[in-house]
Structure 1
Amino acid sequence: MAIDRRAMMGVTAAAAMLPGTALSAEGTEMYGMLGRMKAAPGKREELLALLLESSADMPGCLSYIVAKDATDPDAIWITEAWDSKEHHDASLKLPQVQAAIAKARPLIAGFDSRAETQPVGGIGLGRVPAPKG
């Protein structure tokens, strides 16, 4: 049974409108990560500055938010949204990210929470419309 291109595009467009099916500009499912990092005592501000300065120009990054934990003076939350897991993984190989990791190691006391997510939209992300046929 053959399906014509217009019918297939209609099905694809309808699927993209369903809850939980946000796609990146490349048509892939988005990738997200949430993590809580502990800075060495008294080093949170230095670590925050380092994380923020190294996060520019990361291809495929839709959102990279670094926040202070409101109840722990040494904790930092990082919330990321990417076009794809592949973009996230590739970002870890970027020269500025590699340099930041090397500088950050002595400032990090540990990681205590981490979760991978599949963003489905929201303020700042939006839904990427399906391609028009």
Structure 2
Amino acid sequence: MTANHGFHATMTARPGKGDELVELLLNAPSLSHDDCVVFLVGRSTADPDTVHVTEGWTSEQAHRAFFATGPAQALVAALQPLLAGESRYTDEVPVGGKATF
């Protein structure tokens, strides 16, 4: 499948909460959703409480529909107390590359 919609988000966890933020994201329900074709979680080496997420979806509609579901709303609710402020989003559509973990 091809990503036609996506973004890059940078989140800052409350001090010392970076591990919890990463754990929640690595267990996000979008990872098992067929329309989510890219979901990468990264971490700043200079500040372990700064976390980056890159997502790619088959369409904006699929992304919107997924985030209207109960599991997605539960994830958003669980993330909120861990965050030190508003997340920053950049429009981005993943087009290719390599990931091995």
Give the alignment's TM-score, normalised by structure 1: 0.64
TM-superposed deviation, 1:112: 5.1
- The answer for the alignment partner of 1:52 in structure 2 is 26
Tell me, which stretches of 5 or more residues in structure 1 are unaligned?
A: 1-22, 125-133
Higher RCO, Cα 8 Å, sep 6+? 2
Give the match for residue 84 of structure 1: 59
Which range moves more in the overlay, 48-57 or 97-106?
48-57
Alignment match, 2:90: 115
| Count of residues in Structure 1 that have an aligned counterpart in Structure 2 | 98
Give per-residue Cα distances to partners, 1:30-59, cap 9 Å, x unaligned: 111001000011101011111111233223
Q: Is the 8 A contact 2:39 2:56 kept in 1?
A: yes
How far residue 90 of structure 1 moved from its aligned partner, in angstroms, is 1.5
- Report sequence identity in percent: 34
Report the RMSD for the aligned CA atoms in angstroms.
Answer: 2.0
Residue matched to 2:11 = 37
Matches of 2:12 and 2:93, distance apart in 1: 24
For structure 2, the residue ranges without an aligned partner over 5 or more in a row are none
Is the CA contact 2:42–2:53 (under 8 Å) kept in the aligned structure 1? yes
In the TM superposition, what is the alpha-carbon distance from 1:77 to its structure 2 partner? 0.3
Distance in 2 of aligned mates of 1:65 and 1:119: 11
